[in-house]
């Protein structure tokens, strides 16, 4: 019953069928994914080149481990953010767009979380190499806090504030 009420709140003001809603939501999702894909692909491409630089050989074991974890996180983020495109292509024409939109939305959210982890690990590595000061973890934590605020806290607050009546 609560799900039906939530659905009614989301649909207020629109007179669209489930299929029309799925089409609209798919278009919105794809626009969002394009922005995130661009960021993760640029970051991942840059990360792939680091291992071929002279500086890589001089990194400590800890920094090399951080680098490897960062590359794997970047690969996973890329996969999750490209996943909706593959999903759409493989299920297109099967009349399951509402279900595909839900799965693609979950993949996109997972991709954003992995992008957050990749960006955090990248920042940690860069700041550790650039400076050996003890304030690096605090600076990274501050940036992560900023990302969490911009990407999750503010949107969830807006969602709560304007949809719960």
In the prediction, which pLDDT does 52 show?
95
Segments in the chain below pLDDT 50 = 1-2, 5-6, 8-9, 11
pLDDT tens column, 93-129? 899 999 999 999 999 999 999 999 999 999 999 999 9
Contact between residue 118 and residue 43 where contact means Cβ atoms under 8 Å apart: yes
Rounded CA-CA distance 63/118 in Å is 14
> pTM of the entire structure?
0.85
Is residue 110 a contact partner of residue 80, using CB atoms and an 8 Å limit? Answer: yes
Q: What does the domain layout of the chain look like in residue ranges? A: 2-134
Residues 122 and 149: their CA atoms lie apart, in Å, by 19
Helix and strand totals (H; E) in the chain: 7, 0
Quote the pLDDT of residue 86: 93
């Amino acid at each position: 019953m609560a799900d039906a009420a939530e659905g009614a709140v989301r649909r207020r003001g629109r007179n669209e069928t489930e299929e029309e809603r799925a089409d609209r939501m798919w278009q919105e999702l794809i626009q969002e994914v394009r922005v995130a894909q661009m960021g993760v692909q640029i970051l991942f491409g840059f990360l792939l080149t680091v291992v071929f630089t002279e500086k890589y050989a001089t990194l400590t074991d800890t920094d090399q481990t951080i680098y490897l974890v960062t590359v794997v996180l970047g690969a996973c983020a890329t996969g999750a953010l490209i996943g909706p495109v593959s999903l759409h292509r493989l299920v297109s024409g099967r009349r399951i767009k509402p279900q595909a939109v839900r799965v693609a939305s979950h993949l996109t959210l997972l991709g954003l979380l992995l992008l957050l982890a990749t960006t955090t690990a990248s920042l940690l590595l860069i700041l550790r190499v650039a400076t050996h000061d003890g304030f690096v973890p605090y600076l990274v934590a501050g940036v992560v806090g900023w990302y969490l605020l911009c990407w999750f806290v503010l949107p969830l607050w807006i969602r709560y504030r304007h949809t719960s009546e």
